[in-house]
A and B are shown apart, each in its own frame.
Chain A
Amino acid sequence: MATENNYYVPEESRLPVLGALALGLMALGAGLLLNGDGSSILLTGAVLLIAVMYVWFRTVIRENIAGMNSDQLKRSYVWGMSWFIFSEVMFFAVFFGALFYIRTLALPWLGGEGDRSDMIHLVWPEFTAQWPLMETPAQAAGSNEFVGPDANMSFPGWDKLFHWLPLWNTIILLTSSVTCHFAHHAMKHDDRKKFNIWLAVTVLLGIIFLFLQYEEYHEAYVEMGLTLESGIYGSTFFMLTGFHGFHVTMGTFMLLVQLIRSLKGHFSSGDQFGFEASSWYWHFVDVVWAGLFLFVYVLA
């Protein structure tokens, strides 16, 4: 059995090379799709990837149940998940960095601030910098290449506070982090019933968040004229909130899987890494939202 002196090294596995094939097919298919048609290749790759991930996680879970994972091996998984989350932090950092650069440097320069104002005025004479950017430089120059939005997502004023979706989304997501923590606490005391309830509440809150996010996007596209194409405000808004929404989807799904596992009798106070890893991810997604709420919605 597993001890500190017996680190489990699997003999061989078909999963990795199939996973690589799946990613290769997806990259090829996505490229073909954008240049014409590759949807069937993209779909094949995606289905294969899902199948590989399903079997892979099932294998790892079975190994754990079979007692093949030593404490040392478990620490490898802890390091793996931690550094994966760090890489995700850096991914969001790029888009936040782009937002800060645009807001504090690029737009004011386009509007005529800085050493090169004489030159900028020759290129974009009519443009005034503002945030959220409602009139793009192209628009100011009389072109309709990028048309700014009719309305933006910023704080609408105290009287409309409770009609402001981002506030509700913030409350929901922050609450879900707390309920997730309650679930963790319950499992630490081997209280499976409480664990299931709190985790189910967390998943539900995640789904409600995603629904509200969908509502917000719908409103943006249909009523506010705010799209990916409406200049840099739309670009940064949708890329930041979109990637965040994608991560919430992933996180919700991960927590849902943990709920199903708990219903099947997995996890105990000393063995619940699958849940803990998902909960770290969930808290991380929550922190990103706090940043989004502050820099995309409030300070705008």
Chain B
Amino acid sequence: MAHGPAKGIGRWLFATNHKDIGTMYLWFSFSMFLLGGAFAMIIRAELFAPGMQLIKPEFFNQMTTMHGLIMVFGAIMPSFVGLANWMIPLQIGAPDMALPRMNNLSFWILPFGFALLASTLFMEGGAPNFGWTFYAPLSTTYAPDTVNFFIFGVHIIGASSIMGSINIIATVLNLRAPGMTMMKLPLFVWTWLITAFLLVAVMPVLAGAVTMMLMDINFGTSFFDAAGGGDPVLFQHIFWFFGHPEVYIIILPAFGVISEIIPTFSRKPLFGYSSMVYATSAIAFLSFIVWAHHMFTTGMPIAGELYFMYATMLIAVPTGVKVFNWITTMFKGSLTFETPMLFAIAVVILFTFGGFTGLMLAVAPADIQYHDSYFVVGHFHYVMVAGAVFSMSGAIYYWLPKWSGKMYDETMGKVQFWVAFVGFNIAFIPQHFLGLAGMPRRYADYALQFSDWNMVSSIGAFMYGAAQLMFLYNVVRTIVAGKPTSEEKTWEGAQGLEWTLPTPAPFHTFSTPPEVK
């Protein structure tokens, strides 16, 4: 156990160390984030003005599909798995992840899976063009031939997620240091435990959905074809039974990060720790019984519409508990506003905004107006980007000094935050207006009255894109030329086992478990 990292490429290829694997996850997900971001830039450039300027409509469809798939499965999810790999053993006092070799397997599947998915862009027929939700029959009867690569890609990416989650569950349940009881776990660990449970529960459902597609396309079954007695709506039920827990899979670890950052910079313990744990569990439970609120216009008995409407609104209760707890943690705290705290506060504000538009969408009769419009696009980008991605940026600034032993430049961090914050809002607030005015999502062209807000939105998107390049610059510059720091506690108010370790964190930590009082 005393050995340091191996030399050369073997260190990464054959890694079993949770920190190395976490680092690979983080860099891989960031490269996917830039790729998915490039697709978004193409989309916004095309939508800058009405009429077709740069690309063909067929290619536009491929861009919206690939942007969604890569951001959800390639960028956000693996980035939080990377964070879990780095932080969970440090936060619970474990020597490593419970199953280190399987940990490396779950990482290395991802480059193969996404290479397969991205290669479809260069194949005859083009990349998947049926939207990231791949509704049948668009993804079956009318799909390009490359759909089979998409299906097998999803299969192996799903296997990666399941193995990663099993590893996290085993680590949290089995490798806690003596005295680290469940109700002493840092909230990031708690949210990841529940997220991992959600992943193990719903990734097989996604595998089932794409398997049925595979069979319908290639082997003559009729799951999603009414001519044989099947039903395309069945696809939507299965997809969203996976898809709704999936959005909490994305946001719960982000909640965990926020619950770490806010107490640190408020110099107060988290308000309502146990209620946070119960709220997270309640959100996870509710996520399984609300899926059809994505399908209000697809056709459902009225009793179904009512049930899914009210059940969905229930989610606002535990989510509200969380938001109030964060605010109450800050209340009368000794606040400072370093970059991680700026991101965390932005998440509380912007995620809440996204939550409110979610409530609007939950109202079944109103949703018939908003459905599949740019209002929906604006809504979920407030949750996915301002919720998950912002908290990820905050997390990197928060823990990077501990990882690298170098301090980032506070001014540069703050500048990057403000460019991202302003750019994001310019990009996505107008999309709500566009949606309410009737502009449908996933269209390559639009009517003239939507021109102004689309132009504004594109300018904001470019600004937000630039902010990510600044983020890359900040991270690389910190690692290469940042001011060295060896303080155990980077932040004055930080609590938790990771801050008892030397900085930078040594290759092996907690080989002998610490005693937690």
User: Cβ of B116 < 8 Å from any Cβ of A?
Assistant: yes
User: Cβ of A154 < 8 Å from any Cβ of B?
Assistant: no
Stretch of B79-87, B126-134, B200-208, B316-324 that contacts chain A: B200-208
Complex Cα distance A84/B162, Å? 8
- CB pair A83–B105 under 8 Å, yes or no, is no
Complex Cα distance A75/B99, Å? 11
Q: How far is the CB of B483 from chain A (nearest CB, A)?
A: 32
Q: How far is the CB of B189 from chain A (nearest CB, A)?
A: 15
Known contacts A16-B108, A133-B229; A27/B156 CB under 8 A: yes
Q: Which residues of A contact B95 (CB under 8 A)?
A: 7, 9
- CB pair B229–A23 under 8 Å, yes or no, is no
Q: Which residues of B contact A79 (CB under 8 A)?
A: 98, 166, 169-170, 173-174
Q: Which residues of A contact B233 (CB under 8 A)?
A: 106
Complex Cα distance A5/B94, Å? 10
User: Cβ of A207 < 8 Å from any Cβ of B?
Assistant: no
Residue among B99, B115, B171 making CB contact with A24, cutoff 8 Å: B115
User: Cβ of B209 < 8 Å from any Cβ of A?
Assistant: yes
Q: Mark B124-155, 1 if CB is under 8 A from A, else 0.
A: 00000000000000000000011011011101
- CB pair A137–B149 under 8 Å, yes or no, is no
User: Cβ of B218 < 8 Å from any Cβ of A?
Assistant: yes
User: Cβ of B495 < 8 Å from any Cβ of A?
Assistant: no
Q: Which residues of B contact A236 (CB under 8 A)?
A: 223
- CB pair B14–A13 under 8 Å, yes or no, is yes
Q: Which residues of A contact B205 (CB under 8 A)?
A: 90-91, 93-94
Q: How far is the CB of A149 from chain B (nearest CB, A)?
A: 12
Complex Cα distance A16/B13, Å? 9
- CB pair A87–B208 under 8 Å, yes or no, is no
Q: Mark A10-35, 1 if CB is under 8 A from B, else 0.
A: 11111111011101101110110011
Q: Which residues of A contact B3 (CB under 8 A)?
A: 11
- CB pair A24–B101 under 8 Å, yes or no, is no
Residue among B13, B115, B145, B230 making CB contact with A106, cutoff 8 Å: B230
Stretch of A97-105, A181-189, A250-258 that contacts chain B: A97-105
- CB pair B227–A17 under 8 Å, yes or no, is no
- CB pair A146–B170 under 8 Å, yes or no, is no
- CB pair A232–B108 under 8 Å, yes or no, is no
- CB pair B234–A101 under 8 Å, yes or no, is yes
Q: How far is the CB of B208 from chain A (nearest CB, A)?
A: 3
User: Cβ of A173 < 8 Å from any Cβ of B?
Assistant: no
- CB pair A75–B174 under 8 Å, yes or no, is yes
Within 8 A of B (CB), among A112-133: 114-116, 123-124, 133
User: Cβ of A80 < 8 Å from any Cβ of B?
Assistant: yes
Which residue on chain A has the smallest CB distance to residue B231? A106
In this complex, the member of A19, A56, A114 whose beta carbon has the largest number of chain B beta carbons within 10 angstroms is A19
Q: Which residues of B contact A20 (CB under 8 A)?
A: 105, 107-109, 111-112
Main DSSP-derived SS at the B contact region: helix
Known contacts A24-B109, A83-B200, A88-B204; A228/B229 CB under 8 A: no
Complex Cα distance A161/B55, Å? 65
- CB pair A76–B99 under 8 Å, yes or no, is yes
User: Cβ of A282 < 8 Å from any Cβ of B?
Assistant: no
- CB pair A80–B115 under 8 Å, yes or no, is no
Known contacts A9-B96, A79-B169; A232/B148 CB under 8 A: no
Task: Give the bracket for the number of chain B residues in contact with chain A.
Answer: 35 or more
Known contacts A16-B104, A90-B201, A228-B215; A80/B228 CB under 8 A: no
Main DSSP-derived SS at the A contact region: helix
Residue among A86, A136, A138, A146 making CB contact with B200, cutoff 8 Å: A86
Which residue on chain A has the smallest CB distance to residue B207? A91
Complex Cα distance A137/B94, Å? 59
Q: How far is the CB of A239 from chain B (nearest CB, A)?
A: 7
Task: Give the bracket for the number of chain A residues in contact with chain B.
Answer: 35 or more
Q: Which residues of A contact B66 (CB under 8 A)?
A: none
User: Cβ of A215 < 8 Å from any Cβ of B?
Assistant: no
Q: Which residues of B contact A5 (CB under 8 A)?
A: 512-513
Complex Cα distance A17/B100, Å? 12
Q: Which residues of B contact A110 (CB under 8 A)?
A: 226, 229, 231
Q: Which residues of B contact A271 (CB under 8 A)?
A: none
Complex Cα distance A239/B145, Å? 23
Q: Which residues of A contact B226 (CB under 8 A)?
A: 110, 123-124, 137
- CB pair A115–B301 under 8 Å, yes or no, is yes
- CB pair A232–B238 under 8 Å, yes or no, is no
Complex Cα distance A136/B173, Å? 50
Complex Cα distance A34/B155, Å? 15
Known contacts A12-B16, A31-B149; A91/B229 CB under 8 A: no
Which residue on chain A has the smallest CB distance to residue B229? A232
User: Cβ of A206 < 8 Å from any Cβ of B?
Assistant: no
Which residue on chain A has the smallest CB distance to residue B98? A76
Complex Cα distance A234/B222, Å? 9
Residue among A11, A23, A101, A138 making CB contact with B228, cutoff 8 Å: A138
Q: Which residues of A contact B223 (CB under 8 A)?
A: 98, 232, 235-236
User: Cβ of B480 < 8 Å from any Cβ of A?
Assistant: no
User: Cβ of A145 < 8 Å from any Cβ of B?
Assistant: yes
Q: Which residues of A contact B105 (CB under 8 A)?
A: 15-17, 19-20
User: Cβ of B249 < 8 Å from any Cβ of A?
Assistant: no
Known contacts A11-B3, A94-B208; A24/B112 CB under 8 A: yes
Known contacts A91-B204, A235-B228; A27/B113 CB under 8 A: yes
A-B CB contact pairs (8 Å), 19 listed: A10-B100, A21-B108, A24-B156, A26-B152, A27-B116, A31-B148, A35-B145, A84-B166, A87-B162, A90-B204, A91-B207, A93-B205, A98-B208, A101-B237, A110-B226, A110-B229, A136-B228, A229-B219, A239-B221
- Since A14-B14, A24-B116 are in contact, a sample of 9 more A-B pairs with Cβ atoms closer than 8 Å, ordered by chain A residue number, is A9-B508, A83-B165, A83-B170, A106-B233, A107-B229, A124-B226, A141-B227, A145-B227, A146-B222
A interface, CB within 8 angstroms of B: 5, 7, 9-17, 19-21, 23-24, 26-28, 30-31, 34-35, 56, 72, 75-77, 79-80, 83-84, 86-88, 90-91, 93-95, 97-98, 101-102, 106-107, 109-110, 114-116, 123-124, 133, 136-138, 141, 143, 145-146, 227-229, 231-236, 238-239
Q: Would you list the 9 A-B pairs with minimal beta carbon distance, nearest first?
A: A24-B112, A94-B208, A20-B108, A232-B229, A146-B228, A229-B220, A27-B152, A235-B221, A16-B105
